[in-house]
Structure formats: C-alpha cells, structure tokens
Amino acid sequence: MGTIKLRTKVKGDLVEVKALIKHPMETGLRKDKKTKEKIPAHYIQEVIVEANGKTLLTADWNTSISKNPYLSFSYAGKAGDAVKLSWSDNKGEKDSAEATVK
C-alpha cells in the first residue's frame, strides 16, 4: 500500500531524519462527490522510529494528520546508525523502511 521515503543525514552532533509517507489518511467524514457516500476512515495510528534497535520516537496519530504525512526530527547519533521507521493503520496495514546514516 504505502511507500516511505526515508532520508538520514549527519548535521554536526545530530542526525537529521526526514520521512515522507504515502498514505490516503481519510478521516471518515468526507463524502465521495459522485456517490455522496462517506469515504471510510483510513489513517495511520502509530509510527515508531528506531536507531540501532532502540526506540527513538513513538507517535500516536489520528484523523487530524494530512494525506501523505511528512515527519522530520533530529537525535543525538552518528554515521553508520541503522534507522528504521514503521507504521500501522486502523485497517491493519503496515509498512516500514530502513536507512543507514551517512
């Protein structure tokens, strides 16, 4: 279903993590313009980011997050760290991506 573009980069003493997650992020409140029926809710509920197997970030998301969400943050790390981002949504779908810090 989804695609994650995950980028990591050392900036001074920090590692900058940037992620673009392809996901429809439907609230369940919008109506289809043609059928006038509500579009079922479909949104990311949890995002977990790890570095070298240790959890850096856990985010609980809901319907207020926009379509194709962008996430960016920094942490105290170094080149060579293995960064993994994974998400799960309200329909049980999941995706993950990994990157090595350069």
The token pair that represents 53 in the structure block = 């197997």
Which residue, among 2, 92, 4, 87, has the nearest Cα to 46 in the 3D structure? 87
pLDDT digits (tens, 9 = 90+) for 31-80: 999 999 999 999 999 999 999 999 999 999 999 999 999 999 999 999 99
The token pair that represents 11 in the structure block = 């900036």
> Does the global pTM surpass 0.75?
yes
Residue 102's DSSP bridge partners are: none
Q: Which CATH superfamily is domain 4-100 in?
A: Immunoglobulins (2.60.40.10)
Residue with token string 């991506």: 97
